Amino acid sequence: MEGKILTNIIIINIVVLIVAILFMLVVFYITVNIKKRNRRMENEEYEKLKPDVMDYINGKSDRIKNLMASRLSKNTVLNIILDYSENGKIDCGEIIESLGLDSVLKENLKKNDNKILAIKNIGISNIDGAYDILKEYWNSDDFDERYFSMYYTIALLKKKKYTMEIIDTILGAGFSDDRKIEMIKILEIENDVIIDIINRKQSDTSKSVMLYSIDGNKLSERQIEKIKEITRYNTELEIGIVDSFLMSKSKNAFNHIESLVIEKRDPILQAHIANRLAVYKSKKGFNLLKILLHSEDWDVKYNAAVAILSYGEEGRDYLKDEFEHDNISSAGEMANLRLNINI
């Protein structure tokens, strides 16, 4: 009797489980189809309204003002304008405001279904007050909201009067240094301004980020001397200037990098120089790599060998010759190096 009851309970549980699974499948099917239907409706609305939106943008007709009765149509018109603006065709802030769609942008930002897209759209729109709206998210607990609100503030607004405030916020944010450098470079700050900021900052990390943001192609001799003075005997800061100095056409800048190699400074700095000489190639750079190849530090030696290989046949022939004459290091270390660089 007890066995039959247990069997019935198991059967009931299985039936309940099957029903639950079927119910979830039905819900999933309905949800997917609703999304497909909505997407189809959005696409149809987009194509239907686009000609009238373009006529309004080009000053040919106001007809679109009478075609925005529903929320779908308002969002569709907004998306058409934003798409056109994102392609660099127009500054759409005034157009959006003239159609009363700035309120739709702000309402979309309050929803949680696609906050990042809403943040991006505020930036693209550049409506009145966009900077202050995005700024509210700079200290958000959500990392993506914090990062993208700052990114789109910089990339899409580019309001120079806010530059210093944005930089201070970026430097203090919990992003990786690479992301900070990427964001600051978008601002296209003049080298003199960067140098001034470096002089005012106490943190070596902040100084290093700013040094990486310098445009080496626009470095003057005066700026090079200032940077040399700021970074002297500070490995973290000297690493930050390698790219811009190698990018520069200045003999003075290259000579400074050469001095960092010849003085046999910190191996981390030397390994970084070797690595970057593979990117900024030159005959003088190749000669520096020959010096670095004979470093006593394994990482410096390895990075130099890899960089030399990047110089093509000339580099490969040079390495083979050095290996054959045992000019680099001990037999065991040399065998290990050859294995690592596959030569």
DSSP code for 64: G
Q: Which residues of 238-259 are buried (b: 16+ CB within 10 A; e: fewer)?
A: bbbbbbbbbbbebeebbebbbe
**The total number of structural domains that make up the chain:** 2
In a domain, 69, yes or no: no
In a domain, 137, yes or no: yes
pLDDT reported for residue 239: 94
Shared domain for 184 and 267, answered yes or no, is no
The contacts of residue 272 (CB under 8 Å, 6+ apart) are: 239, 242, 303
- Among residues 209, 241, 272, the one where a domain terminates is 209
pLDDT reported for residue 337: 63
pLDDT reported for residue 204: 92
pLDDT reported for residue 187: 82
User: First and final CA of the chain: distance in angstroms?
Assistant: 79
Shared domain for 256 and 332, answered yes or no, is yes
In a domain, 33, yes or no: no
pLDDT reported for residue 256: 95
Mean pLDDT, rounded, of the chain = 85
Q: Which residues of 143-169 are buried (b: 16+ CB within 10 A; e: fewer)?
A: eebbbbbbbbbbbbbeeeebbeebbeb
- For the segment 201-227, the average pLDDT, to the nearest whole number, is 93
pLDDT reported for residue 223: 95
Task: Find the helix or strand (DSSP H, E) in which 31 lies.
Answer: helix 2-57
pLDDT reported for residue 114: 84
- For the segment 41-59, the average pLDDT, to the nearest whole number, is 85
Residue 119 near residue 145 (C-beta atoms within 8 A): yes
In a domain, 313, yes or no: yes
**pLDDT band with cut points at 50, 70 and 90 for residue 102:** very high
Residue 252 near residue 263 (C-beta atoms within 8 A): no
Residue 282 near residue 290 (C-beta atoms within 8 A): no
- Among residues 141, 176, 209, the one where a domain terminates is 209
pLDDT reported for residue 88: 63
Does pLDDT of 335 surpass 60? no
Shared domain for 233 and 136, answered yes or no, is no
The amino acid at residue 10 is: I
- For the segment 269-276, the average pLDDT, to the nearest whole number, is 96
How far is it, in rounded angstroms, from Cα 91 to Cα 125?
A: 7
How far is it, in rounded angstroms, from Cα 128 to Cα 339?
A: 61
pLDDT reported for residue 15: 83
pLDDT reported for residue 336: 62
The amino acid at residue 157 is: L
pLDDT reported for residue 188: 83
In a domain, 62, yes or no: no
Q: Between 231 and 124, where is the model more confident?
A: 231
pLDDT tens-digit map of 142-198: 888 888 888 888 876 655 666 788 888 888 888 899 989 988 888 888 899 999 999
In a domain, 128, yes or no: yes
Helix axis angle, 204-212 to 163-172, nearest 10°: 120
Host domain of residue 153: 112-188+196-209
pLDDT reported for residue 327: 60
Residue 92 near residue 99 (C-beta atoms within 8 A): no
The string of DSSP letters for 211-255 reads HHT--GGG--HHHHHHHHHHHTT-HHHHHHHHHHHHHS--HHHHH
- Among 2-6, 167-171, 307-311, the range scoring the smallest mean pLDDT is 2-6
Shared domain for 224 and 182, answered yes or no, is no
pLDDT reported for residue 67: 87
In a domain, 55, yes or no: no
Shared domain for 205 and 237, answered yes or no, is no
Confidence (pTM): 0.66
Q: Rounded to the nearest 10 degrees, how much is the dihedral formed by the CA atoms of 261, 264, 270, 274?
A: 40
pLDDT reported for residue 214: 93
The contacts of residue 209 (CB under 8 Å, 6+ apart) are: 171, 177, 180, 181, 184, 240
**pLDDT band with cut points at 50, 70 and 90 for residue 340:** low
Tokens 């943190």 identify what position?
A: 203
Shared domain for 285 and 169, answered yes or no, is no
pLDDT reported for residue 328: 59
Shared domain for 178 and 273, answered yes or no, is no
Shared domain for 331 and 262, answered yes or no, is yes
